[in-house]
C-alpha cells in the first residue's frame, strides 16, 4: 500500500481505511492508498502551519536551493514516476514522461525566479516630507492544492512550485483515481531535503479531504483545478473564511479554420489538440468552425488523421491514444454523441468502442468526428471531455467568432490563418484566457494562464502566478 506524506513521514489514515487505484486500460488494481478523513487532513494542515515560520523565513535563494535539489531527485526517477502515472491515469508512457519532466521544470523555474529576485515590491514617492512608501510582498501561509486526474503532475506543479518558492507551505489533495505518482513525488522531494511539513499530501474523497482543506481557517489560499460545477462549490465554501482562491475550471475551446489557412498545419494541430490525452484536457480543442470554401478539404485531412491514430494500453510504446480515464467519462461522451446523432449529425470517424480482447477491460473509445450538428446540441453547449469533435461549417469569420463565443466557457481558443487582420480580430474578439494563432493547446510556463467566464478565476504560470501566492503590504516609512 502507498502511504500519504504528512509532516515528512509516511502516513496511513488513522482509521486504517484504504481505496484502490485501478488501471483504466485493464481494470486491474495498481495499488491502494489511504482513504483519509477530516482528522487526518487536520494533521496535515497542522504540520504545514508548524513548518511555515521556518520555511518562509529562509532567504529566497536558500529555498530555491532546496527546491532545486528536490527537482534533481525527481529527475533521477522520471521513468518510475512516468510508469506510475500511465498505470493510474491511462495516458501513453511518452506523454507521462513529458509530464513528469514538466513537473521538475516547473519547480526549477520558480526556484530560479525567486532566487533571481522575482519576489519584488515597489517604492512609491509620497507627498508627506521625508516619508517613503513601500509595497512589500509576503507569503500567504498555508496553501491548499486540489488537483484533478487528467494532468495530475503538471497541475500539481503549477500550484506547489510558485507556492513553495514564495515561502508558503502546502497541503495537496490529488484526485482519488490518480494519487500514486503524486505520493511518489512527495516522497522523493522529502528524501531530497524538503523540510518536514512543507509539502504534505492527503488522499481521500473531495467532499471530505478537499472540503476540510477549503474550510479550515489556517489554510489561507486554495489553488483548485477541476470541473466548473465543483469550482462553484469550492468558491462558495471558501467564502466563509474570505479565503483567496484560484480556480482553473472547465473549457470548450473553439478552433477557427479560415479559408486562407495552411490546412495541413491546421489539421495536424487540431488532431493533437483534440485527441491528446484521449481528449481529456481542459485546453483541448472541443469545437471547430471551418470556413465554407475549405471545409471539405480540411475535414478530409482531419478525418484521415483521426483514423490513423493507434489506440491501446499506454504502456505499449506504439500507443498514441490510451483509454478514457473512467467508465463514467466514457458514458458521458457516448451520451453526448448520441444526442448529436439523434439531432441529425453525420458521423465521419469513430463513434464506438474499439473491438478486440485488448480493449475489453478498459474504457477505450475511438477518435470520433461529427459534422452537421445543429446549434443547441450538447456537444456545443457542454464540455466534451473525451475524443469527440464536432465540426461546423461557417459562412464567414463573423459567424465563426459569434459561434465560438456562444459558450459559458472561455478558457482557450485558436485561429488558423495567414492573414494578420483576421488573427488580430480573433485576438481582440474571442472571449478566452488564451488565443493561439496557427497553434493550439500548449500552455507555456512563461505565459500567464487562466480562463474567463465560467472557466475560472485567477492565473497560473508566468511571473503573474506569484501574485496569487503572496500578499502585498503597504508600508509608510516616516522620517523622524
Ligand atoms: P473534479 O472537479 O471532479 O475534481 C477535481 C478535484 O476536486 C479532485 O481532487 C476531487 O477529488 C476534488 N473535489 C471534488 N469535489 C470536491 C469538493 N466538494 N470540495 C473539494 N474538492 C472536491 O474534476 P475532474 O473530473 O477531476 O477534472 C476534470 C475537469 O477539470 C474538467 O472539467 C477540466 O476541464 C478541468 N480542468 C481544468 C484545467 C484548467 O487549468 N482550467 C486543467 C485541467 C482540468
187-213: average pLDDT:
98
* Residues carrying an active site annotation: 248, 282
Mean pLDDT (the chain, rounded) = 97
pLDDT of residue 410: 98
- State the DSSP code for 296: H
Task: List residues near ligand 1 (CB under 6 A).
Answer: 146-151, 155, 173, 175-176, 206-207, 210-211, 214, 225-227, 230, 233-234, 248-251, 282, 383, 385, 411, 451, 456
The preferred substitution site among 35, 99, 146, 148 for testing ligand 1, maximizing ligand atoms within 8 Å of CB, is 148
432-453: average pLDDT:
95
Could you give the C-alpha distances from 322 to 63, 93, 403, 478, in angstroms and in order?
38, 9, 31, 63
- Give the rounded distance of the alpha carbon of 6 from its chain centre: 24
Residue 302 has pLDDT above 90, yes or no: yes
pLDDT of residue 400: 98
Please give the share of the chain, as a percent, with pLDDT higher than 70.
100
66-124 per-position pLDDT tens digit? 999 999 999 999 999 999 999 999 999 999 999 999 999 999 999 999 999 999 999 99
HEC letters along 401-416: HHHHHCCCEECCCEEE
Measured by CA distance, the residue closest to atom 22 of ligand 1 is 206
* Ligand 1 atom with minimal separation from the 226 CA: 30
Distance in Å, CA 315 to ligand 1 centroid: 25
* Ligand 1 atom with minimal separation from the 329 CA: 25
Could you give the C-alpha distances from 48 to 14, 52, 150, 336, in angstroms and in order?
18, 6, 26, 43
- State the DSSP code for 322: -
Which residue is it, cell 462553484?
232
323-369 per-position pLDDT tens digit? 999 999 999 999 999 999 999 999 999 999 999 999 999 999 999 99
387-414: average pLDDT:
98
Residue 441 pLDDT class (50, 70, 90 cuts): confident
Q: Which residues of 342-358 are buried (b: 16+ CB within 10 A; e: fewer)?
A: eeebeebbbbebbeeee
Q: H or E segment at 186?
A: helix 180-191
Distance in Å, CA 382 to ligand 1 centroid: 16
pLDDT of residue 15: 98
Please name each of the domains of the chain with its CATH number.
Answer: 4-249+455-478 (3.40.605.10), 253-444 (3.40.309.10)
* Ligand 1 atom with minimal separation from the 455 CA: 41
User: Would you call 410 exposed, middle or buried from its count of C-beta atoms within 10 A (0-12, 13-18, 19+)?
Assistant: buried
Which residue is it, cell 458521423?
347
Distance in Å, CA 226 to ligand 1 centroid: 2
The preferred substitution site among 149, 226, 229 for testing ligand 1, maximizing ligand atoms within 8 Å of CB, is 226
* Ligand 1 atom with minimal separation from the 250 CA: 34
Other residues' Cβ atoms within 10 Å of the Cβ of residue 174: 29
Residue 208 pLDDT class (50, 70, 90 cuts): very high
Closest CA to 367 of 453, 479, 279, 460: 279
Measured by CA distance, the residue closest to atom 30 of ligand 1 is 226
177-193: average pLDDT:
98
Distance in Å, CA 235 to ligand 1 centroid: 13
109-168 per-position pLDDT tens digit? 999 999 999 999 999 999 887 899 999 999 999 999 999 999 999 999 999 999 999 999
Other residues' Cβ atoms within 10 Å of the Cβ of residue 229: 11
Distance in Å, CA 225 to ligand 1 centroid: 5
Judge contact between 169 and 159, C-beta under 8 A: no
Query: Residue 437 pairs with which residues in a beta bridge?
Result: 415
pLDDT of residue 130: 84
pLDDT of residue 129: 75
Please give the share of the chain, as a percent, with pLDDT higher than 90.
98
pLDDT of residue 479: 82
Residues 6 or more apart in contact with residue 299 via CB below 8 angstroms: 290, 348, 369, 371, 391
Other residues' Cβ atoms within 10 Å of the Cβ of residue 466: 20
451-456: average pLDDT:
98
Amino acid at each position: 500500500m502507498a502511504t500519504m506524506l504528512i509532516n515528512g513521514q509516511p502516513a496511513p489514515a488513522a482509521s486504517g481505511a484504504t481505496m484502490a487505484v485501478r488501471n483504466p486500460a485493464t481494470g486491474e488494481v495498481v495499488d491502494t492508498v489511504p482513504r483519509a478523513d477530516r482528522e487526518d487532513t487536520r494533521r496535515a494542515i497542522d504540520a504545514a502551519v508548524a513548518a511555515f515560520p521556518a520555511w518562509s523565513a529562509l532567504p529566497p535563494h536558500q529555498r530555491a536551493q532546496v527546491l532545486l535539489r528536490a527537482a534533481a531527485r525527481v529527475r533521477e526517477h522520471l521513468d518510475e514516476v512516468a510508469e506510475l502515472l500511465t498505470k493510474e491515469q491511462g495516458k501513453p508512457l511518452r506523454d507521462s514522461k513529458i509530464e513528469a519532466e514538466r513537473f521538475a521544470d516547473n519547480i526549477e523555474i520558480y526556484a530560479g525566479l525567486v532566487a533571481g529576485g522575482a519576489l519584488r515590491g515597489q517604492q512609491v514617492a509620497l507627498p508627506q516630507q521625508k516619508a517613503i512608501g513601500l509595497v512589500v510582498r509576503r507569503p500567504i501561509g498555508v496553501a491548499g492544492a486540489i488537483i484533478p486526474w487528467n494532468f495530475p503532475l503538471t497541475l500539481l506543479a503549477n500550484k506547489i512550485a510558485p507556492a513553495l518558492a514564495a515561502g508558503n507551505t502546502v497541503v495537496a489533495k490529488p484526485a482519488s483515481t490518480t494519487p500514486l505518482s503524486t505520493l511518489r513525488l512527495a516522497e522523493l522531494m522529502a528524501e531530497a531535503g524538503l523540510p518536514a511539513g512543507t509539502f504534505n499530501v492527503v488522499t481521500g474523497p473531495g467532499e471530505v479531504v478537499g472540503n476540510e482543506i477549503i474550510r479550515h481557517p489556517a489554510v489561507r489560499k486554495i489553488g483548485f483545478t477541476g470541473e466548473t460545477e465543483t469550482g462553484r462549490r469550492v468558491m462558495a465554501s471558501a467564502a466563509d473564511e474570505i479565503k483567496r482562491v484560484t480556480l482553473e475550471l472547465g473549457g470548450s475551446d473553439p478552433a477557427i479554420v479560415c479559408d486562407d489557412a495552411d490546412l495541413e498545419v491546421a489539421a495536424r494541430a487540431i488532431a493533437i489538440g483534440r485527441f491528446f490525452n484521449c481528449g481529456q484536457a481542459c485546453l483541448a480543442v472541443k469545437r471547430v468552425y471551418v470556413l465554407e470554401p475549405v471545409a471539405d478539404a480540411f475535414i478530409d485531412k482531419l478525418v484521415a488523421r483521426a483514423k490513423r491514430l493507434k489506440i491501446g494500453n499506454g504502456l505499449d510504446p506504439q500507443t498514441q491514444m490510451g483509454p478514457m480515464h473512467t467508465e463514467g467519462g466514457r458514458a458521458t461522451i457516448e451520451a453526448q454523441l448520441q444526442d448529436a446523432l439523434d439531432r441529425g449529425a453525420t458521423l465521419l470517424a469513430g463513434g464506438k468502442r474499439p473491438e478486440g480482447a485488448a480493449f475489453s477491460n478498459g474504457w477505450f473509445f475511438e477518435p470520433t468526428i461529427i459534422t452537421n450538428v445543429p446549434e443547441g446540441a450538447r456537444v456545443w453547449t457542454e464540455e466534451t471531455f473525451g475524443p469527440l469533435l464536432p465540426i461546423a461549417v461557417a459562412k464567414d469569420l463573423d459567424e465563426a467568432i459569434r459561434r465560438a463565443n456562444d459558450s459559458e466557457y472561455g478558457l482557450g481558443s485558436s485561429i488558423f490563418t495567414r492573414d494578420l487582420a483576421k488573427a488580430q480580430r480573433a485576438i481582440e474578439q474571442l472571449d478566452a484566457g488564451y488565443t493561439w494563432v496557427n497553434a493550439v493547446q500548449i500552455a507555456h510556463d512563461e505565459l500567464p494562464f487562466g480562463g474567463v467566464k465560467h472557466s475560472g478565476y485567477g492565473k497560473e504560470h508566468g511571473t503573474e502566478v506569484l501574485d496569487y501566492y503572496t500578499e502585498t503590504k503597504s508600508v509608510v516609512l516616516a522620517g523622524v
